[in-house]
Amino acid sequence: MKTNNEEKYHVPVMLRECLDGLDIQSDGVYVDVTFGGGGHSRAIFEQLSEKGQLIAFDQDPDAAQNAWEAPNFHFIASNFSFLKNHLRMLGIKQVDGVLADLGVSSHQFNEPERGFSIRSNEKLDMRMNQQSELSALTVVNKWGEDELISIFQKYGEVRSPRRIAQRISTEREREMIKTTGDLVALLEPLAPKFKENKFYAQVFQAIRIAVNDEMEVLEKMLEQTAEVLKPGGRLVVESYHSLEDRLVKNYMKRGSFDGKITKDFYGNVLKPFDEVVRKPITPTDEEVAVNKRARSAKLRIAARGEGE
């Protein structure tokens, strides 16, 4: 059962599909690298025996409030890019399944002071780890114009990255851009008509990804799953935008992040995982109606190669 606090913090997306994808064995060892409100973790834990173990990761101090005490449950207050190191510290060499529910939690969006939402007017922050030195305030006000162009093009996938960067550069010379509202206001003249919110969201996404170094840490985590999962162990990943999904898709299908294929002498593709489902699973219309944030979710499932 999910507690009211967990429901308020973040509603798990495609919960049943994630559990099925993990193919949970009661005595197995599982890792939830994105604990958040604990909804996915709680459901996994309820299927484990006393011999089974669950290890949960989250770098956000707010998430720690949702953890619980149990001999076979371990909460790790860390970024999931340190997956392998922390498992070693627990004396765990291999696990049966890894779950990753990527992106920003509902809690992080709903807390205005975190600075993730385009609908608030709070200090520019966007740090998932509030102990981190780099914030959106620094990116927007201190990063060079070329750096801004690069992140808007690469992480925001917007049509006019140069114009956005130039406008930010010009406006911050007049006055420091301090809040999310300030940023939205200066972007307004550049926003395509009737697509304003999507445009603002793309710009915010680019800044957030840069602040949290999201693509690099995702790559590090995925590479480590190939080392920590047992042969046949399941990797289950939910993503919410095309950049994340592309990395996950390429790694599961081709064993690389850029989509390039490497073959052995016999023509076999060298990759650590075999896809369990060839196409991503998406939420039902009924789930999207209840939880709007589920609409962009894609779920991919793979199994660690038996011969790797």
pLDDT tens, 126-139? 998 888 899 999 99
95-101 β-sheet, strand order: 73-76, 53-57, 29-32, 95-101, 229-239, 298-304, 273-275
Task: State whether 11 and 99 are in the same domain.
Answer: yes
Residues making up the chain, counted from first to last: 308
Task: State whether 226 and 299 are in the same domain.
Answer: yes
Question: Is residue 122 packed enough to be buried (19+ CB in 10 Å), middle (13-18) or exposed (0-12)?
Answer: middle
Please tell me whether residue 68 adopts helix, strand or coil conformation: coil
Last residue of a domain, one of 212, 243, 262: 212
Last residue of a domain, one of 212, 236, 257: 212
Q: pTM, whole model, 2 decimals?
A: 0.90
Task: State whether 238 and 208 are in the same domain.
Answer: no
Task: State whether 122 and 31 are in the same domain.
Answer: no
Task: State whether 200 and 237 are in the same domain.
Answer: no
Mention every residue, 6+ apart, whose C-beta is less than 8 A from residue 169. Answer: 145, 148
Q: What is the pLDDT of residue 10?
A: 58
Task: State whether 143 and 206 are in the same domain.
Answer: yes
Task: State whether 219 and 288 are in the same domain.
Answer: yes
Task: State whether 18 and 149 are in the same domain.
Answer: no
- Please state, in angstroms and as integers, the Cα–Cα distance from residue 292 to each residue in 104, 283, 288, 296, following that order: 14, 10, 5, 9
Q: What is the pLDDT of residue 115?
A: 65
Q: CATH number, domain at 160?
A: 1.10.150.170
pLDDT-derived band at 120, boundaries 50, 70, 90: confident
Task: State whether 101 and 186 are in the same domain.
Answer: no
Longest C-alpha distance within the chain, in Å?
63
- Percentage of residues of the chain with pLDDT beyond 90: 78
Q: What is the mean pLDDT of residues 33-52?
A: 96
| Six-digit token string for 194 | 């009737």
Q: What is the pLDDT of residue 251?
A: 97
Task: State whether 300 and 206 are in the same domain.
Answer: no
Task: State whether 82 and 96 are in the same domain.
Answer: yes
Domain tally for the chain?
Answer: 2
Range of the domain at 189: 112-212
* Beta strands at 53-57 and 298-304: parallel, antiparallel or unpaired: unpaired
Report DSSP state, residue 179.
B
The larger pLDDT score, comparing residue 115 to residue 119, is at: 119
Task: State whether 58 and 186 are in the same domain.
Answer: no
pLDDT tens, 222-256? 999 999 999 999 999 999 999 999 999 999 999 99
Last residue of a domain, one of 170, 185, 212: 212
Q: What is the pLDDT of residue 117?
A: 79
Q: CATH number, domain at 249?
A: 3.40.50.150
299 vs 283: CA distance, rounded Å: 9
Q: Is the pLDDT of residue 199 over 60?
A: yes
Mark residue 199 as left, alpha or beta (left: phi above 0; alpha: psi -120 to 50; beta: remaining): alpha
